[in-house]
A = this chain, B = another copy of it.
Amino acid sequence: QDSSDVKLSYGKKGFELATDDDNYKLQIQARFQFRYATPYDIDPVNHIQLMQPARQIAEINRARLKIGGNAYKPYLKYYFEYELKRGALLDFRVMFEKWDWLKFKVGQWKIEYTRERLISSGKQSLVDRSLINQYFTLDRQQGVTIYGNVGNHRLANFSYWAAVLTGSGRSATENPTNDLMYHARLQWNFCGKEMIMEGSDTEFHQKGIGAIALAGATYKGPYNLFSSNGGANIYNVPDSITPFYDVSQLNLETAYMKRGFAWQSETHLKIIDDQANNTTSNLAGTYFQAGYFFHQLFPKFPEKMEIAGRYTIFTPHIDTRDVIHNEYSLAVNYFFKNHLNKLTAEITRFEFDDPGFGVDGRYRFRVQWDISF
Instruction: List residues of chain A with CB under 8 Å of any chain B CB.
Output: 1-12, 14-17, 19, 24, 26, 28, 30, 32, 34, 41, 54-60, 63, 67, 69, 71-72, 78, 80, 82, 84-85, 87-89, 92, 94, 106-108, 142-143, 166, 171-175, 178, 336-337, 340-341, 369, 371-373
Chain B residue at smallest Cβ distance from A41 = B174
| Minimum C-beta distance from A143 to chain B (A) | 7
Min Cβ gap A63→B in Å is 5
Interface of A is mostly: strand
**In the bound complex, what is the Cα–Cα distance between A89 and B32 (angstroms)?**
12
In the complex, the count of this chain's copies comes to 3
Give chain B residues whose Cβ lies under 8 Å from the Cβ of A106: 34, 369
B72-A337 in contact (CB<8A): yes
Contact of A15 among B2, B24, B57, B63 (CB under 8 A): B24
Interchain residue pairs A-B with the least CB separation, the first 9: A6-B8, A3-B11, A71-B373, A3-B9, A87-B87, A84-B89, A10-B24, A10-B19, A15-B17
- Given A3-B9, A15-B26, A94-B32, is A143 in contact with B58 using a C-beta cutoff of 8 Å? yes
Whether A60 pairs with B10 at a CB distance below 8 angstroms is no
Instruction: Flag if A80 contacts B58 (CB, 8 Å).
Output: no
- The answer to whether A60 and B15 touch across the interface, beta carbons within 8 angstroms, is no
